[in-house]
Structure 1
Amino acid sequence: MRIIGLAVFILIISYIIKIDLLDGTISLAAFSKTETECVKQEQYEIFPVQTVKGDTVLSVFAVYPSEVWVSFPERLEAFYQENPHLQNQVFQPGEIVNVPIYKDSTLSCS
């Protein structure tokens, strides 16, 4: 009687393990789809500005702020990408400079 009870117990345990491996959580974890990764891309628009005497990059950024927070070095890098001629000189009064203004952008999921 003990042998029959032990055999039934072993069969039940092996059936539970088989069902868990085929249809349970282990198989779902092994063959699940990868989640798409969403990255927020920060894009900016160019706003042409005519400078006046005494303007600096910081004063232009203060007058024309971005909609989203962007660190000063990032915005300065974008400014000099749009205005490479201003890298080593000061603003001249009446000069047109392109100011990057960051806007709210949608998520890019891939």
Structure 2
Amino acid sequence: MKTAPTSQFMDGKHLAKNVQCPACHAALPPTAAPETKTCLSCHKGSYTAMAEVTAKVNPNPHTSHEGEIPCVDCHKGHQPFVYGCGKAGCHTEYSNTRFK
């Protein structure tokens, strides 16, 4: 993506840490969002481990009552972060400015 090096979103954060596009995308140009197993291969290895990292967040997004939600439901990569549960209107009051 041409704007990734200057992006304020997750793609720019990855490139700033020298994580190149093929680390997340199997095909270039990308034909689909990365699978959760791809994300977890770098980020703590499991939902249980991610839940420990975000244990003080209320509600903890990694212990969803909906089960293991795909990472890309919230972490959009090339777009602003959104809570996946917010789609149903349940948790729209919560936001995370980390990737905005």
Q: Give your verdict on TM over 0.5.
A: no
* Higher RCO structure, 1 or 2 (CA under 8 Å, sep 6+): 1
Q: Would you tell me which structure has more strand in proportion to its own residues?
A: 1
TM category (shorter chain) comes to under 0.3
